[in-house]
Amino acid sequence: MNSRLASLRQLALIFILTTLVQAPAWAEENQADDDSADTAGWTAIVRNSPYWVSQGVYTNILTIRRWVLKESGYCSSPDRHILFDMRGQFLGWISNGADSAATQKRLNDTRQALHAKDLTEEWIAGDANTKGYPFALACDQPHVNLDLAVGRYMGARSKDRVWGAWDDLAFATREQPGSLHDALMYIVQRRDEQNRFALPAILPRYLAGQVLIESGGQARAHSRANAKGILQLSPSALKDCQIKPQNYWHRLAQIDCALRLMHQNARNLQPAFDQRFGHLPEGKRNDLFVLLLIQAYHGGASRVQSLLDGEVLAKPAEYFAANHERFTAGDIAFGMVFHNLGRDRLGLASLYYVADVQLATEALCQTQKLKPEEFCAWK
């Protein structure tokens, strides 16, 4: 009986580790943002905020997301929420209550207290259906264990290594399999030699980060939205890449397909991007384009296109393009999204995703093997 129970527990653990689970629905910071949001509430604060508040927002969001991913700083305890303002600046934290209602009350009491101390000009009470302000982020969220994910990506264990063939690609052998990193670089090099994909030179670094964030490097990762594999490709994306069901989890096919999708997104976005930001210095222009490509992978190229040339959604981009000297590429990428929160299904998760990918690339480039390589040359 004890042996059977242990086996069941082991199977349950394997299921958890190979399935991407979404955050609890009750946490207010996980609610979906859409056009029906109450424009008299938190979205009014966003709409009324001047564009200059996006100065420093990229670094600030990276800081709070680092606490979550690394379980460090003010998220050293998972039973907490942290609060931050529209610039991503940390304002305070609470210990969670006994249940969601008690936690929500503590959040609102803290918001009011922060306002009373003049740490925020406005505050909005949140509830089960509405975000509050200052924004709140739960420290206890399902997220990638970066150390384990980096180990899988680097092939620390033999079971995480890969070999095989896909299309005209043939990587490693059964007797001498390679790491996911070596597979990714092999595919990038082959496609570059074939002039099949035109992509920014630094994109492979971010694609590696996406492997970590999308799946933790787990070959059989499968989300509730039916996205599959190490790069969490949707059924429509897999179909576009002409991948048959029996190969949905094929890691070489997944990487090749993701590169193809990135190429398509880059080709579609380039004209509008050049029209809006073509005058930026080359380094900043390239950095911004890559961040927008990551955003497009997460939320769709059409949404990013609207951020560039839409009648309403492109207003922030218009301002940042005219005043780019005052902002980093990251600030511009995040500002374009932040000032449209609540529109076209754009939410804080859109910012978190790009931040997490950046942090994952940094984790990879802290490894002894990759740190000295050209792969990790930031400029």
Q: Is residue 287 part of a domain?
A: yes
Average pLDDT value for residue range 158-187: 96
For residue range 345-373, list pLDDT tens digits in order: 899 999 999 999 999 999 999 999 999 99
pLDDT of residue 283: 94
Query: Are residue 33 and residue 92 in the same domain, yes or no?
Result: yes
pLDDT in tens, 126-172: 998 888 999 999 999 777 789 999 999 999 999 999 999 999 999 99
Residue 295 to residues 53, 144, 334, 340, Cα–Cα distance (Å): 21, 19, 10, 14
181 and 298 part of one domain: yes
2: in domain: no
Q: Does some domain include residue 8?
A: no
Give residue 333's domain range: 146-376
Per-residue confidence band for 378, with pLDDT thresholds at 50, 70 and 90: low
C-alpha to C-alpha distance for 116 and 108, rounded to whole angstroms: 12
Q: Is 50 exceeded by the pLDDT of residue 36?
A: no
Distances (CA, A) of 121 to 61, 114, 135: 20, 9, 13
Q: Is the pLDDT of residue 333 over 60?
A: yes
Q: How confident is the model at residue 225 (pLDDT cuts 50, 70, 90)?
A: confident
Q: Which two tokens stand for residue 123?
A: 């505050």
Task: Tell me how far CA of residue 188 lies from CA of 16, 169, 185, in angstroms.
Answer: 31, 11, 5
Rg over CA atoms, the chain: 21
Which of 138, 167, 198 is a domain's end point? 138
Structure confidence at residue 7 (pLDDT): 42
Q: Report residue 140 as tokens.
A: 């206890």
d(CA 335, CA 53): 8
Does residue 106 sit in the same domain as residue 168?
A: no
Q: Is residue 3 part of a domain?
A: no
Helices (H), 98-250: 100-116, 146-153, 180-193, 203-215, 235-240
The CATH number of residue 200's host domain is: 1.10.530.10
Q: Are residues 98 and 151 in the same domain?
A: no
Q: Which of 86, 104, 138 is the last residue of a domain?
A: 138
Give the model's pLDDT for residue 144: 77
Neighbours of 301 (CB within 10 A): 20
Q: At 273, which amino acid appears? A: F
Q: Is the pLDDT of residue 8 over 60?
A: no
CB atoms within 10 A of CB 379: 6
55 with 153, same domain: the answer is: no
Output the CA angle 314-199-240, nearest 5 degrees. 85
Q: Pick the more confident residue, 170 or 20.
A: 170
With pLDDT > 90 as the criterion, what percentage of the chain qualifies?
Answer: 81
Q: Work out how many domains the chain is built from and give that number.
A: 2
* Assigned domain for 1 exists: no
Number of residues that make up the chain: 379
Question: Is residue 233 situated within a structural domain?
Answer: yes
Q: Are residues 94 and 184 in the same domain?
A: no
- My answer on whether 122 and 171 are in the same domain is no
Residue 40 has a pLDDT of 61
- The per-residue pLDDT for 377 is 84
- The residue out of 82, 105, 138 marking a domain boundary is 138
Tokens linked to 56: 């420093």
Six token digits for residue 191? 């496609």
The pLDDT value recorded for residue 39 is 55
Query: Of residues 240 and 24, which shows the higher confidence score?
Result: 240
How many CB atoms are closer than 10 A to CB 344? 18
- 233 and 351 part of one domain: yes
305 and 160 part of one domain: yes
Section 39-65 average pLDDT: 92
Q: Do 224 and 368 reside in the same domain of the chain? A: yes
Tell whether 9 is covered by a domain: no
Residue 181 reports pLDDT greater than 70:
yes
**Which CA distances in Å does 369 have to 37, 159, 372?**
47, 19, 7
Q: Token pair of 41, please?
A: 């509430």
Same domain, yes or no, for 133 and 150?
no
- Looking at the fold, whether 192 and 281 belong to one and the same domain comes out as yes
Task: Determine the average pLDDT of the residues in 275-303.
Answer: 96
Confidence of residue 296 (pLDDT cuts 50, 70, 90): very high
Question: Could you tell me whether strands 135-138 and 80-84 are parallel, antiparallel, or unpaired per DSSP bridges?
Answer: antiparallel
Burial 21-49 (b: 16+ CB within 10 A, else e): eeeeeebbbbbebeeebeeebbbbbbeeb
Residue 6 forms part of a structural domain = no
